[in-house]
Amino acid sequence: MNFNNELTQWYLENKRDLPWRNTTDAYTIWLSEIILQQTRVEQGLPYFNRFVEKYPNVSAFAAANEDDILKLWQGLGYYSRGRNMLKTAQLVQELYDGEFPQSYDQLIKLKGIGEYTAAAIASFSANEAKAVVDGNVYRVLARYLGIDEPINSTKGKKIFQQAANDFLNKKNPGLHNQAMMEFGATVCKPKNPACGICPVRTGCYAFTHNAINTLPVKLNKLKIRERYFSYFLIADDHKVLINKRNHSDIWANMYDLPLIETPAMVSTEELFTHPQVVDFFGNELKISEISPVKKHVLTHQRLYVRLIILQNQPIKLQENWFYTPVENIKNIALPRIIFIFLKNIFNL
């Protein structure tokens, strides 16, 4: 048997029973693909179920407001994806009368849908012969074919796309793409791949040349920015002071708490004499508690965050600050680290 036949047979016998695999509905497939980008199935499945339950079709999604979408998205990160999903749903409602397109050429024009997602939706919903290339597929192809060109180089992307196109089963591309992705996720894993049960290992370059741990190759282009946040909590038993974030930074248009950002994590004594702190709260801070500094890792940023709890503190209310009832905290879109702070304090 050749590679395609072996892989397809393996998939039919071993695939996980996932809800988006039991449908050809392009909207449902789109939901799953966006949610699962750089997210494990185990983590993404509850989010998928919540989205499908609240927005069973694209028309319902298009009618949502951004705050509701971001609240449902809370904890997944990459919040721009949630915002782009809303724009996509609204565009589909406007251009296609709520019928999610299935063709690659239409999908690729929608906000937040790139080549991978368009190929996945087109092949899974309409069996269009488009090869899907995600992280799992890159890994399978690199190891099986012995491709050492970096997967994130311009040349590498072209090589892997061509290899995926050459391997694609044109008669059943949807099944082939699912098999490639599932195989990479569950057998040909990044670490400790299950080569002992691999049905195609005898033809695999990495297996026969002891190159499993060196393929695929990836250029390290990521620059990490370190940031230092001191949040201030002003609350009583009934309401809490909330900050509405702007649209030009992380967590765009979401909510957090009054914040001072400093170039480093300064001492509390230095922080309390910071001009912004003095402007917001005056010279005398009524401090109840200061949390330990917590590290919060994003893709391109590493945040160091602490929470300073103030009691009965006079403040100079800023334009983007407002009070909300404590019980409403669960209903607004907060970064996960802030939600955890507040959840623990108010026993939400």
* Structure tokens, 33: 């693909």
87/122 same-domain check:
yes
Report the CATH number at residue 191.
Answer: 1.10.340.30
Residues 6+ apart with CB under 8 A from 69: 82, 83, 85, 86
111/52 same-domain check:
yes
Question: Which residues in the chain land under pLDDT 70?
Answer: 1, 237
Cα gap 96→82, rounded to integer Å: 21
Rounded to 5 degrees, what are φ and ψ at 25? -70, 115
pLDDT of residue 39: 85
| Residue 139 maps to a domain | no
Q: Which of 13, 33, 226, 261 is catalytic?
A: 33
Strands in the chain per DSSP E: 225-234, 239-244, 255-256, 259-262, 287-290, 294-297, 301-310, 321-325
Containing structural domain, residue 32: 3-133+154-198
Give pLDDT tens digits for 5-19: 999 999 999 999 999
pLDDT of residue 280: 94
The SS3 of residue 306 is strand
- Tally of domains within the chain: 2
| Residue 163 maps to a domain | yes
Q: Is 99 a residue of the active site? A: no
34/124 same-domain check:
yes
| Residue 219 maps to a domain | no
pLDDT of residue 112: 86
Q: How far is CA 46 from CA 20, 49, 327, in A?
A: 13, 5, 23
170/92 same-domain check:
yes
pLDDT of residue 1: 54
Give pLDDT tens digits for 269-289: 999 999 999 999 998 888 999
| Residue 206 maps to a domain | no
Report the CATH number at residue 242.
Answer: 3.90.79.10
| Residue 229 maps to a domain | yes
| Residue 213 maps to a domain | no
CA dihedral defined by 247, 248, 250, 251, rounded to 10 degrees?
0
